[in-house]
Amino acid sequence: MEQIFKTLTQLIKNNDNIFIMTHQNPDFDGMGSAIGLQQIIHSFKKNSYIILNNKEKNKSLAKSYKLLEEKAIYFNYIYKTKTFNMINENTLLIILDTHKKNMTEVPELIDKTNNVVIIDHHIKSKDYIKEATLSYININLSSTVEFMAKYIKYLNKTIDPLIATLMLVGLEIDTNNFRLKTTKDTYEAASFLSELGADNVLKQELLQENKDDYLKRQKLIEKSYMLNDNMALCIADNELYESKDLAYIAEQLLQFENVAASFVIGYLSKDTIGISARSLGNINVEEIMAKLGGGGHLTEAATQIKNSTLKKVEQQLIAVIGGTK
Ligand SMILES: [Mn+2]
């Protein structure tokens, strides 16, 4: 990892036009890492921008941005619409917490520059960004924050306690409070962030605001059942969901014992039902979704079905899989 840190530092030092972006609908892991990295870049006397789309969408993040502002902590963001004519082939674009072009906040920017850095901890998918100058994708990391904490420690730098708090929130959300993907390095990162002054009370406050979403998800997960030996299915309620919500539940289902593939069915709009499918890699969910008019790839796929009902879509999926209920 030291070599990666060295290369990253060199790239930062060699560039004057630096942009940082994470995935759409940013979370604390992506955004906390971005804000932490921006402080580091700032300490090298370099300017950088964090690309935002909607500052208010995630309530806990909105609160965090406000706190940064109140405490006059360096946080230099830019709305995505303003970035298009600011990015050229010499721009250094650092992508955090995703490696898939279409999941980034502004995919178009990737084609505009020759300098792309990717730092991520998600299972590598087929549509990773191939033209990266530096790509570090390590599924053994609990979170992007874990990488960033290590990097800050390696550089022997400090960050503001508020930023350390935001990063710790990201680490806890990604590990579901140290339940998943947690290693000795994860605890070390958390310990380091505490040393930097991460505030546990504020951390709890920021985590709490996500509780309603969390509970809603848990309810749906509770309703899920095994279609056969290794596939889990969750049928959402009649409310409307965004496809990323369905995907998130599907990802969570993969964490349970014996689940090699998961499917989540829910309403995306009044007349459209979506299925989100995820696999650990042994079951090809793309094939299954293709039979229902959708697509994707081996481990992540989806489809949309018009003018149907949850029950009918459930039966269609079961028919395709050959499962029983
Ligand atoms: Mn993450």
Of 93, 16, 19, nearest in space to 49 by CA? 19
Q: What's phi and psi for 272, nearest 5 deg?
A: -125, 125
Q: Are 166 and 128 in contact (CB under 8 A)?
A: no
pLDDT of residue 58: 83
b/e map 163-190, b = 16+ CB within 10 Å = bbbbbbbbbbbbbeeeeebbeebbeebb
- Which tens digits make up the pLDDT trace of 84-126? 889 988 899 999 999 988 889 999 999 999 999 999 998 777 7
* 122 C-alpha to ligand 1 centroid (Å): 7
- Which tens digits make up the pLDDT trace of 218-272? 889 999 999 999 999 999 999 999 887 898 899 889 878 899 999 999 999 999 9
Of 189, 191, 197, 201, nearest in space to 163 by CA? 197
pLDDT bin (cut points 50, 70, 90) of residue 212 is confident
* 247 C-alpha to ligand 1 centroid (Å): 14
Tokens found for residue 314: 């459930």
Of 106, 105, 107, 103, nearest in space to 122 by CA? 103
Q: Is 194 exposed, middle or buried (0-12, 13-18, 19+ CB in 10 A)?
A: middle
Domains of the chain, first to last: 2-208 (3.90.1640.10), 216-321 (3.10.310.30)
> In whole angstroms, what is the distance from residue 171 CA to residue 145 CA?
6
Alpha helices in the chain (DSSP H): 2-13, 28-43, 59-70, 108-112, 144-155, 161-174, 184-195, 200-208, 211-222, 243-253, 285-290, 310-321
* 94 C-alpha to ligand 1 centroid (Å): 15
pLDDT of residue 180: 73
- Which tens digits make up the pLDDT trace of 54-91? 888 788 899 999 999 999 999 999 999 999 889 988 89
Taking CA atoms, 245 is separated from 199, 236, 250, 265, in Å, by 29, 10, 9, 11
Tokens found for residue 32: 């906390």
* 223 C-alpha to ligand 1 centroid (Å): 26
- What average pLDDT does the chain have? 92
pLDDT bin (cut points 50, 70, 90) of residue 209 is low
* 313 C-alpha to ligand 1 centroid (Å): 31
The whole-number average pLDDT for the span 18-37 is: 95
Q: What's phi and psi for 274, nearest 5 deg?
A: -110, 150
pLDDT bin (cut points 50, 70, 90) of residue 7 is very high
> In whole angstroms, what is the distance from residue 10 CA to residue 14 CA?
6
Q: Are 302 and 296 in contact (CB under 8 A)?
A: yes
> In whole angstroms, what is the distance from residue 155 CA to residue 39 CA?
12
* 182 C-alpha to ligand 1 centroid (Å): 13
pLDDT of residue 199: 97
* 186 C-alpha to ligand 1 centroid (Å): 13
pLDDT of residue 325: 46
* 29 C-alpha to ligand 1 centroid (Å): 5
Of 154, 151, 162, nearest in space to 205 by CA? 162
